[in-house]
Amino acid sequence: MEQTGGEISDKVPGFIAWMDTPSGKVPQISTTLSNVDHLGACMARWGINRMGYIVPPGLYAIGTPDSAALVVVTANYKMSYDRVRSALSGRNLWLLVLETFGVNVWCAAGKGTFGTGELVKRINKADLQKVLTQRQLILPILGAPGISAHEVAKRTGFSVQYAAIRADDLPRFFDHKMITTPEMRKVSFTTYERLVLIPVEIVLTLKSLALISAVVFLIAFMANGYSASVVMALACLGAVLTGVVTVPILLPWIPFRSFVLKGLLAGLGWCSLLYYSVGGCSWDITTTAAAFLGLPAISAFYSLNFTGCTTFTSRSGVKKEMHLGIPALGAAIMVSAVLLAVGRFL
């Protein structure tokens, strides 16, 4: 069951006071984030209480907006809400928060929860037609995959303007006659933007990571004894982390467009590093072959997984990679395991 944002009350983050409007009371909220807000954001990045990181959907007031003030629309993921309100500091605007079940604008638009139906529903529920004399909504560009602007206009009379990709660009947008510059329209995927995605990826992989390491350790322990099993478990752990951490960080600098190839290359790097640091020249031929086959394949699988987080990979591209890549990677890991087993009996 998806978690909802609940009802607006005086407990909403940043609550200052109630404001009277023709359609009832609206909470006026602060544009300054508190330490609690910053801590919450940090925890959410590590996947802690991420599901509870949600605000109630509905209409909020920033400053003292009147009936002619503009309306900015966002999702009810608390980080989206915090980003937008802090970017609107010093202005008088309405903030309309959609119920996206605590998911950010981009992912919610892809799922359709940041969508035409929900927007129309929120406009009617907040009775925007009564609160406002103007008929314009400002939306984030990354919400466009879920919204059909002409449909919204037809059903509510409100026209939609897509302002910018990043909330940080909103001040510039409002200060410059509400014109979206080409820069504001360009999606970015900077090192920082990639970095902040990694913690939660690690947390999400922890379970399979622990499992894989444990299984590998046990098998190796039974077969080859303690020190070999530690090396093997570490080798696999490193291969996974190469896919989950190294590839995302070094993304633009690793050659190839394909994430499978990027992962293979990075995995090969990890394997070579391991080979030279733990004295791989003493490995027998099957172990060496198994390592150089299996470890890059593990990295490639995990780096393919990262396509879900990027802002530039297409569905058809991922499909193509999976179609060719997953059978090949699966085969490589299998052959690698067989090699290790065979090596035991040689």
Partner 1 sequence: MTGMCYIKNVTTLKLNQTACTGCGRCIEVCPHQVFALEGRKARIDDRDACMECGACAKNCPVNIIAVDAGVGCASGMISEWLQEHNVPGIKSGGRCC
Q: Which stretch binds partner 1 (CB under 8 A): 33-41, 126-134, 231-239, 246-254?
A: 246-254
Q: Which is nearer to partner 1, 81 or 306 (CB)?
A: 306
How is the beta sheet containing 58-62 ordered, strand by strand?
Answer: 15-21, 24-29, 58-62, 93-98, 71-75, 136-139, 159-162
DSSP for 75-100, please give it.
ESBHHHHHHHHHHTTT--EEEEEE--
Q: Is 320 in the site for partner 1 (CB under 8 A)?
A: yes
Minimum CB distance to partner 1, residue 144 (Å): 4
Residue the block writes with tokens 């929860």: 113
Q: Is 144 in the site for partner 1 (CB under 8 A)?
A: yes
Minimum CB distance to partner 1, residue 16 (Å): 32
Give the total of residues touching partner 1 (CB under 8 A): 55
- 102-135 burial code (b ≥16 CB/10 A, e <16): bbbbbbbbeeebbbbebbbebbeebebeebbeee
**What single-letter amino acid sits at 89?**
S
Residues whose CB falls within 8 Å of the CB of residue 324, separated by 6 or more in sequence, listed in order:
260
Q: Is 265 in the site for partner 1 (CB under 8 A)?
A: no
Q: Is 228 helix (H, G, I), strand (E, B) or coil?
A: helix
Q: Which of 22, 49, 312, 331 binds partner 1 (CB under 8 A)?
A: 312
Footprint on residues 145-174 left by partner 1 (CB under 8 A)? 145-150, 162, 165
Q: State how far the alpha carbon of 120 is from the alpha carbons of 98, 112, 124, 128, 150, in Å.
A: 10, 13, 6, 10, 12
Q: Which is nearer to partner 1, 257 or 277 (CB)?
A: 257
Q: Which is nearer to partner 1, 189 or 283 (CB)?
A: 189
Q: What are phi and psi of 321, to 5 degrees?
A: -65, -40
Q: Is 4 in the site for partner 1 (CB under 8 A)?
A: no
Residue the block writes with tokens 């290790």: 340
Q: Is 102 helix (H, G, I), strand (E, B) or coil?
A: coil
Query: What is the rounded end-to-end Cα distance, in angstroms, of the chain?
Result: 54
Q: Is 117 in the site for partner 1 (CB under 8 A)?
A: no
40 and 53 Cβ atoms separated by less than 8 Å:
yes
Q: Is 106 in the site for partner 1 (CB under 8 A)?
A: yes
**From residue 204 to residue 223, what is the string marking binding to partner 1 with x (rule CB under 8 A)?**
x---x---------------
Q: Which of 177, 192, 252, 279 binds partner 1 (CB under 8 A)?
A: 252
Minimum CB distance to partner 1, residue 93 (Å): 21
Q: Is 186 in the site for partner 1 (CB under 8 A)?
A: yes
Minimum CB distance to partner 1, residue 107 (Å): 4
Q: Which residues bind partner 1 (CB under 8 A)?
A: 103-104, 106-107, 109-112, 141-142, 144-150, 162, 165, 180, 182, 185-189, 197, 204, 208, 251-253, 257-258, 304-322, 326, 330
